[in-house]
Amino acid sequence: MKLAIGILAHNEEGSIGATIGSLLKQTVIANPSIGKEIIVVANGCADETAAVAEGALSELAGAANCSARVVDVAAAGKANAWNVFVHEASAKDADFFVLLDADIEFGSFDAIERLVDHLVKEPDILIAPDQPVKRFSERGGPLGALIRALQKTGSDDDHALSGQLYAARAAALRSVVMPIGVVVEDGFLRAMTLTKGFTQPEKLSLIRRAPGVRHFYKPYESLNSIYRYERRQAVGTTINRFLYDEFRQWRAAGLDVTEEIRRRNAANPAWLEALVAERVKKSPPIAVPKNYVLRRVRRRDNWSIGNLAKAPLIAAALLYDLVVAADASVRLRRRAADGARWDSIRKAANTK
């Protein structure tokens, strides 16, 4: 078995050393029966992410059946970094991929082995995510409660996909190409996987969480940063919806979705900007999909008898989501007019 582990990093000099240190303590690294390569894709970094990563990886010297390197990519963007890892940098004979962000902490020393083992034991599963766990500070009081409530969504189930950490069959990921500039990459990958490139209806069983495996990450803990993140997610979800509608037209015309994305990325890296600009002009005033805006309201557990007292909070959350959706729609239209890169909203979203 050969395993390729990819860490996608953008300006993470402050956290990537600890993440790599945590990775090197994983039991899979010391397992001589598994071939391993660790590749850090530093994309568009303006700091010392690549140098810090190289220093941390130097601790790997002497590890059994394992290699490591840093690939420094000039262009920023997680989708582009993902494409580089999956289609260019990783070994062609890798059986499984593990992808992780540069700022997570594993929940156990055998997390990666358990993710891969989940795929080995369940041959019909293509992607095995884990359970992401927010590690909040000890902030208490009404503000702390509000911050926690705002970051609770309706997508936390066994078929959800967090791009922070997951294992996948290499062949499954190689069948996907990310459009350059796509914002919500994990949502895009999930849709492409469940529909096998929009050739079939969604089959949820193709993605299933590995039982008991989890990782920790630091959530946003100021109202301003939470709002920016929510707005980014709303923009990204809307862009993905535009793409899915376009893909259905491609399929109707007999085009292969992955190959068409590959062709357009090569011919004109800005093709997504043009597509979104065209689509947003034809959208209603609130361009964000209705099911996304109503995601908190649609949570079944919010409407149990025991939770009826939460009705005012749910109504407030709905009002908040409507404001976010309206703001996201305005920004989509402004960016369409300005011709700006859609994934540039990530920088604003991550400003704390």
CB 161 within 8 A of CB 190: yes
Q: Tokens in use for 131? A: 């359970």
Mean pLDDT along residues 170-192: 96
CB 36 within 8 A of CB 28: yes
Mean pLDDT along residues 250-254: 97
CA distances from 348 to 78, 81, 114, 338, 342 (A): 15, 19, 35, 16, 11
For tokens 């598994």, name the residue: 34
Q: Tokens in use for 84? A: 């580089």
Determine the Cα–Cα distance for residues 158 and 160; give it in Å rounded to an integer. Answer: 6
Residue 91 corresponds to which amino acid? A
219 secondary structure, DSSP code: P
* Structural domain boundaries in the chain: 1-221, 222-352
For tokens 């960016």, name the residue: 335
Instruction: State pLDDT tens for residues 117-157.
Output: 999 999 999 999 999 998 877 666 666 666 666 665 444 68
Instruction: State pLDDT tens for residues 310-352.
Output: 677 778 888 989 999 999 999 998 876 555 555 544 443 343 3
CB 129 within 8 A of CB 209: yes
Determine the Cα–Cα distance for residues 201 and 195; give it in Å rounded to an integer. Answer: 5
Q: Tokens in use for 316? A: 């407030």
Which residues 6+ apart lie within 8 Å of 264 measured at CB? 179, 271
Q: Which fold does the domain 1-221 belong to in CATH?
A: Spore Coat Polysaccharide Biosynthesis Protein SpsA; Chain A (3.90.550)
CB 88 within 8 A of CB 53: no
pTM equals 0.89
CB 84 within 8 A of CB 186: no
